[in-house]
């Protein structure tokens, strides 16, 4: 099975590299950095979708849920700017009716190596399974159509006071020593709080200008949140599991702080506005 998977990846890699004027150069870039700059327009075109569209349609900003709900076809998530863009590979010459989203032919796009399915950096949220595994044109049309249904951001903020109080309680050194059950419950609770906050902070990352004073801190907060969510705490001993719960809680507090700052400056039009 491993040999078959490796052969399939090699086939996909050769197909992607064939779009490069010098395919060997694409393979060298993948070997060196995991990303290769490859031009669109010949072997594949690409449609660039703002994360706000994708997350609104699939109902989540969490990578595992986006991956499960996007459907078939190759899609890249550019995580250098957390949550900002998704790139769907489409058959050359299609999606002409979506020129506002389609990259011009000859645009050099960062293409992850075939097996790169996690951060950091650009990765395949939906990796190509075979040659010409294009995202369907009607799927692009449906995504864009459905993006116009409903608000452009969550209508209400989570209960920030409740989340903050719960997370700060984990740092109370005057409480009893944590039991295994308490550490497990604290980890689950902190994870739940973080997954509640993420869609809102992710939405902020897609809408704030790149030069906004909060953008850099927001990007760092999102990157750390995903790093902690992806950490496996199932095999940690009691002390380490409790420490992991505290790291998750700290991520929550960082995001609560940023959301309150944005709400105070009226981002955008007032968080929680109907």
pLDDT score of 83 more than 60: no
> CB of 100 within 8 A of CB of 150?
no
If 0-12 CB within 10 Å is exposed, 13-18 middle and 19+ buried, where does residue 46 land?
buried
Which of 8-12, 24-28, 231-235 has the highest average model confidence (pLDDT)? 24-28
CB distance 89 to 135 below 8 Å: yes
Please tell me what DSSP assigns to residue 102. Answer: B
Contact 78, 85 (CB under 8 A): yes
Given a cut of 50, whether residue 3 has pLDDT beyond it is: no
Q: Which long-range contacts (CB under 8 A, 24 or more apart) does 221-226 make?
A: 221/251, 221/254, 221/255, 221/258, 222/82, 222/83, 222/198, 223/79, 223/82, 223/119, 223/120, 224/251, 224/254, 225/194, 225/197, 225/198, 225/201, 225/251, 225/254, 225/255, 226/63, 226/82, 226/119
- Which residue blocks in 42-134 are alpha helix, DSSP H? 51-58, 63-69
Residue 255 has phi, psi (to 5 degrees) of -75, -35
Question: How much is the pLDDT for 18?
Answer: 96
Residue entry with tokens 């006071």: 161
Q: Please give the mean pLDDT across all residues of the chain.
A: 81
What are the angstrom distances between the C-alpha of 272 and each of 165, 252, 257, 267? 20, 19, 16, 10
What local confidence, expressed as pLDDT, does residue 52 receive? 75
Radius of gyration of the chain (CA): 21
What pLDDT score does 1 carry?
Answer: 43
Residue 205 pLDDT > 70 = no
Q: Which residue has the higher pLDDT, 144 or 134?
A: 134
Instruction: Read off the pTM.
Output: 0.58
Residue 206, pLDDT score: 61
pLDDT at res. 37: 92
Q: Is the peptide bond before 120 cis (omega within 30 degrees of 0)?
A: yes
């Amino acid at each position: 099975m491993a040999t078959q998977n490796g052969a399939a990846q090699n086939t996909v890699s050769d197909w992607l590299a064939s779009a490069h004027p010098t395919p060997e150069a694409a393979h060298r870039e993948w070997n060196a950095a995991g990303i290769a700059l490859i031009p669109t327009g010949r072997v594949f075109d690409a449609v660039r979708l703002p994360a706000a569209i994708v997350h609104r349609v699939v109902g989540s900003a969490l990578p595992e849920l986006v991956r499960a709900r996007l459907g078939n076809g190759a899609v890249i998530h550019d995580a250098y700017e957390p949550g900002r863009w998704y790139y769907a590979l489409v058959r050359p010459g299609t999606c002409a009716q979506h020129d506002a989203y389609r990259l011009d032919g000859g645009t050099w796009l960062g293409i992850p190596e075939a097996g790169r399915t996690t951060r950091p950096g650009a990765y395949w949220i939906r990796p190509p399974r075979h040659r010409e595994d294009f995202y369907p044109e009607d799927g692009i049309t449906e995504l864009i159509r459905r993006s116009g249904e409903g608000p452009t951001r969550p209508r209400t903020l989570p209960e920030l006071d409740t989340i903050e109080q719960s997370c700060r309680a984990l740092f109370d050194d005057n409480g009893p020593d944590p039991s295994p059950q308490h550490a497990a419950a604290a980890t689950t609770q902190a994870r739940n709080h973080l997954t509640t906050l993420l869609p809102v902070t992710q939405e902020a990352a897609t809408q704030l200008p790149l030069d906004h004073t909060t953008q850099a801190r927001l990007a760092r907060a999102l990157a750390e949140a995903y790093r902690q969510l992806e950490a496996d705490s199932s095999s940690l001993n009691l002390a380490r599991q409790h420490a992991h719960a505290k790291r998750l809680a700290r991520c929550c507090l960082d995001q609560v702080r940023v959301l309150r700052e944005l709400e105070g400056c009226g981002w955008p039009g007032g968080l929680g506005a109907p």
